Amino acid sequence: MAWYHRLRNLMRGDALSRDLEREMQFHIAERAEELMGQGMTEREALREARRRFGNVQQQKESTRDADVVVWLESLVADVRYALRALRHSPAFTAVAVLSLALGIGANTAIFSLINAVMLKSLPVPHAEELVSVVRFQGSARDPGSAGAEFTNPLWEQIRDHQDAVDAFAYGQASFNLATGGEARRVDGSWVSGSYFPVLGARPLAGRLLTRGDDDRGCPAVAVVSAGFATREYGASEGALGRSLSLDGHPFVIVGVTEPSFFGVDVGSRVQVYAPICARAIMQGGAGILDGRSTWWLQLMGRPRNHYGADQVNARLAAASPSINAATLPADWPVKFQAPYLRSTLGTEPASTGYSDLRDRSRTALFALMAVVGVVLLIACANVAHLLLARAAARQREMALRQALGAGRGRLIRQLLTESLLLALAGSALGALFARWASGVVVGLLSTPHTQIWLDLGIDFRVLVFTIGIAVLTGILFGLVPAWRASRAAPQTALQAQGRAATSGPGRFAITRGLVVGQVALSLVLLVAAGLLLRSFQRMVTIDPGFRRDGVLLVSMDAANTGYSKDQIGSTFRDMLDRLRALPGVRSAGASLVTPISGMGWNGDIEASGFVPKSERDGVVWFNGVSAGYFATLETRLIAGRDFGPQDVKGGSPVGIINESLARKLFGAANPIGKVFRTRNGRGVSPPTEVIGVVQDAKYRRLNDDNVATAYLPLTQTDPFGSSLNFALRTDGDPQALVPAVRALAGGVNAAISLDFTTLSEQVAASLARPRLLATLSAFFGALALLLATVGLYGTVAYSVSRRQSEIGIRIALGADGSRVVRMIMGEVGRLLTAGAVLGALIAVAATRLLQSFLYGLTATDPTTIALAVASLALVGLVAGAVPAWRAARHDPLEALRQE
C-alpha cells in the first residue's frame, strides 16, 4: 500500500538516507569495475563512474523529496478542491456547518464542565501527589464508610503523632464582613498552618500563613484572594496591613494568594483564609477547638518519604488506635464509643481536590454527556444525508474523473477532505458556542446564596477532545457517502440515462436507515425531556404545606452584641413583638429552622405504644417555633391549639405534631393530650404533651417523603447559638419590608447582623438543579426534534425529486393529487413508525438511568412516552406532508420533460 510505505519512510529518516547512500555507492563500484575491465586504472575508473552517476547528494535529496513533496502537493490540492466545492454550494455548507457546530459545541461545553468539575488537577505543584485523609468505620477499608470530617483534637493528634503524611486541615466558613446590619458574606476557610506550605501555594503579595501562625493563642491574621483584594482595596498590595472584620472580630491581612489559587474545593472560591487557632476568639470558639464531637475539619496532605499508598495506609492504620484513644469523647454513650475506637485512618487520592459539587453533579453531568452525544449523532446523520444527496448529484463528475485515471482511493480521500473541512469549521464555531454555553450553565446552577465558580478555561484536554470529536464526526458522516460516490462504475454513470439507472432501491436503504435512526434518537431525547419537565413541574406544584409567596425571612445573629444567652432570648422575644407592629406586616413568627433551607434538626422520639419499624423510623424532624409561626406560614392547625403565653420556659413541656407524626405514633387515635419523649445523647426528655396537630409541611427539601415533625415552643428549647429566624408575612412585595426591619434591628442594637431572603426565593433555590436539568433537556430535545425533522424533510423531498418522472406519469395517467400524496405519506408514515418503535424500545431501556432525578414519575411513565410519540408524529407528518403536497401540484408535463 502506497500510503503505508510513505508513512514508514517519513519515519525512517536517517536510516533511509544511509540505505540510499549504500545503494548508490554499490552502483558506482559496479560501474568502476566494468570500466576497469575495459582497461582503466582503478582511480580513473572510479572517477569516471562517479562522474557518470552524477551528484549523489542531489539524487539522495530528490529521492526523499519526491515522497514528501508529492504527498504535500496532493494534500494541498485536495484541500483547495474541497474549499472550492464547498464555496459553490453555500446553502449546503451553511446548514452542514451549523448542524455540526451545534452538535460539537454542545459536546464540548458539557465536556469542559466535566473537565472543570471532575478531571482538572488543583492548580498547585505536583497535585498528583495529594491525598485526602479519611476515617473508615472499623478496620475494613470499605469506601462507603469513609468519613471525611474531623474534630480539632483529632486533627491535632494526626498533625503531631504520625509520620506517614505531611497533612493540613481546612474547614468551610462563611464570614460576615459587616459589623452590624445586613450581613455581607464571603466564602472563607479556616486553615491549619501547614495548608499553604504543603500545597505549595505562593503569595501574590505579602506572605501566606505558615506553621508558626497556627499555635493556640495566635494573633488574628488572615490571607485574602487576589480577586477579593482587587475588589475591596483596588490593588493586591492595597490589602496588606488592612483590617478585616470577620463575624465582628478584627483580623489583619498579611498576604494575598495568586489569582489561579482558589482553595481545594472545586466549585467554590475561597476569598478569606484564617488560621484555625484564631477560631478561639470567635463565638463559642474555644469550645469548638476542644470539642471532641464537633466535626468541622477536612484533611489532605502529601505522603512523606515517597511512601506508596499501601505504606501510607498501613502506617496510618497503625497510628489510629492511639489517636482514637487520645481523643475519645468522654460523654458519649458506650454504644458509640466502641466504633469510635475501632475506626482507622486511611487515604484516598485527591489530586482534583475534594468537591461537594462533584459528588452532587456526577450523575447529572454524565447524563448530559449522553444527551449531547445523541444530539451530535443526529446532526451527523443530517450532514450525511446532505452529502449523500450531493454525491448522487456528482455521480457523473466522479465517473469522469475515474475514467481520466484518478484512483478510487484518491477520490475517497478527496471527499473525506471535504467532510473533514466541514467538521473542522463546525468545531471551530462550536468551540465558541461552547465557551458561552458552559458559562450559562454554571450561571444557571448558581443561586444568590451559593455561587458556583469553575475555572472553565480551555485547556489541553478540552482542545484534544474537540479536535478528536471533529475528526471522528468528519469520518463518521463522510465515509459512507465517499465510498458510495466512488463506487460507480465509470461507464454506467456516463450514460445519458445514468440517473435513472443508478437510483435504485439500494441507494434509499441507507438514507431510510439514517432517518429511522434519527427519528428513534429524537424520540429518546423527547421522552427524557418530557420526564424531566413533568417531574420538575410536579415539584414546583407540590403543596408544601405552607404558602410561600409574600413571606420575608430574616436571620438575626446577636453574636457580636456581647449579650448573655438570657439577654439574647429576651431581645429576640421583644423583637418579635416589634416586628409584628411594623406597617405592612400581617403576621410574624420565629423559628430555629426555616422551611427548605437545607438545614435541619432531627432526633429520636418515643411514645408509649409506638414501636419503630426500624432505627430510622424512630427518627423525626424537630423545630423550635414561636406562637404565630403556623399562622404566618399559613400551615393549617387541624386540632388543638397553637403555642401561647402559657407555654413558658420551665413550665410543663408541650409540643405540636403534624399529621404524619400523629399517625406514626398514635395511629387513628386522637393525639391531643397524649405524650411523647425525645432522646438525645444526654438522655430522655420529660414527657411532652401534645397540644395541637398541624398539617404536614415539607421540611428540608421539596421532594422529601418523610416529613414527620414535632414542633416545640421556642421558650422550651435551647437556641442554636446566638441566631434566630423570623418570618414576616405581608400582602405586597416582601422585599419592601427590608428597610424597616433593618432600621428596627439597628435601633435595638447596631451589632445585630441580618441576613434577608424571601421564602419563595429559598424554595426556588432548592429547585435550581431540577430546573436546570429540565431546561437543558427541553432545549436538547427540541434541538434533536428540529434536526430530525430537517432530516426527514430532506429525505422525502429528495426521494420525491428522484421520482419526479414516475409521479408525472402517474398524474398524466389520471391519478389525482391526493393519491400521490397518500403514496408519499404512506412512506413517511412507515419511516416514522419504524423510528418511533425503535426509539420507544431504546427509551424504555435508557431512561431507567434518570430515575434518581425524577419526582412522582417512573422512568417508564406511559403518558410521557405517549406525549413524546404524539409530538414526534405530528411534526414528522407535517415535515413529510410539505414536499408531498408540492409534488402532487407539480405539472406532470414538466416532470416528464426533465428526462
Name which position in 12, 13, 18, 19 contacts other proteins (CB under 8 A): 19
20 binds other proteins (CB under 8 A): yes
Which CB atom, from 22 or from 184, has the smaller least distance to other proteins? 22
Q: Which three cell numbers stand for residue 26?
A: 554499490
689 binds other proteins (CB under 8 A): no
81 binds other proteins (CB under 8 A): no
Name which position in 17, 27, 573, 860 contacts other proteins (CB under 8 A): 27
CB of 418 to other proteins, least distance (A): 22
If binding means CB under 8 A, how many residues of this protein chain bind other proteins?
27
CB of 121 to other proteins, least distance (A): 45
Q: Per-residue x/- mask for other proteins, residues 30 to 49, rule CB under 8 A?
A: xx------------------
What is the rounded CA–CA span in Å between residue 80 and residue 421?
Answer: 11
62 binds other proteins (CB under 8 A): yes
121 binds other proteins (CB under 8 A): no
26 binds other proteins (CB under 8 A): yes
What is the rounded CA–CA span in Å between residue 141 and residue 135?
Answer: 9
What is the rounded CA–CA span in Å between residue 116 and residue 135?
Answer: 27
Q: Which three cell numbers stand for residue 481?
A: 457517502
Name which position in 42, 43, 55, 138 contacts other proteins (CB under 8 A): 55
Q: Which three cell numbers stand for residue 273?
A: 483564609
Q: Which three cell numbers stand for residue 212?
A: 508558626
Contact 848, 758 (CB under 8 A): no
Name which position in 13, 18, 23, 57 contacts other proteins (CB under 8 A): 23
Which CB atom, from 25 or from 670, has the smaller least distance to other proteins? 25
What is the rounded CA–CA span in Å between residue 569 and residue 320?
Answer: 43
The one segment of 23-31, 330-338, 371-379, 805-813 that binds other proteins by CB under 8 A: 23-31
Which CB atom, from 30 or from 894, has the smaller least distance to other proteins? 30
CB of 28 to other proteins, least distance (A): 9
What is the rounded CA–CA span in Å between residue 452 and residue 460?
Answer: 23
Which CB atom, from 77 or from 235, has the smaller least distance to other proteins? 77
The one segment of 28-36, 101-109, 755-763, 788-796 that binds other proteins by CB under 8 A: 28-36
Name which position in 2, 140, 330, 611 contacts other proteins (CB under 8 A): 2
DSSP class of residue 575 equals H
Contact 631, 599 (CB under 8 A): no
What is the rounded CA–CA span in Å between residue 139 and residue 344?
Answer: 6
What is the rounded CA–CA span in Å between residue 283 and residue 899?
Answer: 92
The one segment of 5-13, 140-148, 198-206, 773-781 that binds other proteins by CB under 8 A: 5-13
Contact 297, 151 (CB under 8 A): yes
57 binds other proteins (CB under 8 A): no
What is the rounded CA–CA span in Å between residue 688 and residue 80?
Answer: 87
- The angle formed by the CA atoms of residues 461, 464 and 467, to the nearest 5 degrees, is 150
24 binds other proteins (CB under 8 A): yes
What is the rounded CA–CA span in Å between residue 288 and residue 281?
Answer: 11
204 binds other proteins (CB under 8 A): no
**For the stretch 297-332, what's the b/e string if a residue is b when 16 or more beta carbons lie within 10 angstroms of its beta carbon?**
bbbbbbbeeebeeeebbebbbebbeebbeebeeeee
DSSP class of residue 489 equals -
Which CB atom, from 19 or from 899, has the smaller least distance to other proteins? 19
Distance of CA 612 to the CA centre of its chain: 39
75 binds other proteins (CB under 8 A): no
Contact 710, 621 (CB under 8 A): yes
Which CB atom, from 63 or from 775, has the smaller least distance to other proteins? 63
Torsion, CA 198, CA 204, CA 205, CA 210, rounded to 10: 0
CB of 399 to other proteins, least distance (A): 16
What is the rounded CA–CA span in Å between residue 551 and residue 733?
Answer: 8
Which CB atom, from 286 or from 403, has the smaller least distance to other proteins? 403
Which CB atom, from 19 or from 356, has the smaller least distance to other proteins? 19
What percent helix, strand, coil does the chain show, rounded to 5? Answer: 60, 15, 25
13 binds other proteins (CB under 8 A): no
- The angle formed by the CA atoms of residues 78, 83 and 86, to the nearest 5 degrees, is 125
Quick count: other Cβ atoms within 10 Å of Cβ 784?
A: 28
Which CB atom, from 20 or from 444, has the smaller least distance to other proteins? 20
9 binds other proteins (CB under 8 A): yes
17 binds other proteins (CB under 8 A): no
The one segment of 54-62, 236-244, 350-358, 565-573 that binds other proteins by CB under 8 A: 54-62
Angstrom CA distances, 707 to 519, 545, 591, stand at 43, 10, 17
393 binds other proteins (CB under 8 A): no
CB of 48 to other proteins, least distance (A): 12
Name which position in 90, 212, 333, 405 contacts other proteins (CB under 8 A): 405
The one segment of 53-61, 207-215, 708-716, 718-726 that binds other proteins by CB under 8 A: 53-61
370 binds other proteins (CB under 8 A): no
Which CB atom, from 25 or from 680, has the smaller least distance to other proteins? 25
Backbone dihedral angles phi then psi of residue 736, each to the nearest 5 degrees: -65, -20
Which CB atom, from 63 or from 717, has the smaller least distance to other proteins? 63
> What SS3 class is residue 692?
strand
Backbone dihedral angles phi then psi of residue 551, each to the nearest 5 degrees: -120, 125
Which CB atom, from 21 or from 543, has the smaller least distance to other proteins? 21
Name which position in 36, 40, 63, 602 contacts other proteins (CB under 8 A): 63
What is the rounded CA–CA span in Å between residue 833 and residue 653?
Answer: 68
Return the residues of window 433-492 that contact other proteins according to CB under 8 A: none
Query: Which one, of 474, 488, 484, 521, lies nearest residue 389 by Cα?
Result: 484
Name which position in 48, 67, 290, 604 contacts other proteins (CB under 8 A): 67
Which CB atom, from 411 or from 553, has the smaller least distance to other proteins? 411
830 binds other proteins (CB under 8 A): no
The one segment of 29-37, 115-123, 124-132, 529-537 that binds other proteins by CB under 8 A: 29-37
Name which position in 15, 29, 325, 743 contacts other proteins (CB under 8 A): 29
Q: Please report, as a single letter, which amino acid is at residue 158.
A: I
Quick count: other Cβ atoms within 10 Å of Cβ 477?
A: 28
Name which position in 37, 39, 58, 609 contacts other proteins (CB under 8 A): 58
CB of 495 to other proteins, least distance (A): 23
DSSP, residue by residue, 31-98: HHHHHHHTT--HHHHHHHHHHHH--HHHHHHHHHHHHHHHHHHHHHHHHHHHHHHHHH-HHHHHHHHH
**Non-local CB neighbours of 235 within 8 Å, separated by 6+ positions:** 229
Which CB atom, from 9 or from 860, has the smaller least distance to other proteins? 9
The one segment of 24-32, 274-282, 468-476, 594-602 that binds other proteins by CB under 8 A: 24-32
CB of 43 to other proteins, least distance (A): 20
Q: Which three cell numbers stand for residue 242?
A: 488592612
Query: Which one, of 619, 609, 709, lies nearest residue 660 by Cα?
Result: 709
The one segment of 51-59, 461-469, 590-598, 736-744 that binds other proteins by CB under 8 A: 51-59
CB of 403 to other proteins, least distance (A): 11
Name which position in 22, 819, 886, 889 contacts other proteins (CB under 8 A): 22
Contact 285, 279 (CB under 8 A): yes
Specify which residues 88 forms β-bridges with.
Answer: none
66 binds other proteins (CB under 8 A): yes
Q: Residues interacting with other proteins, by CB under 8 A?
A: 1-2, 5-6, 9, 19-20, 22-24, 26-27, 29-31, 52-55, 58-59, 62-63, 66-67, 70, 405
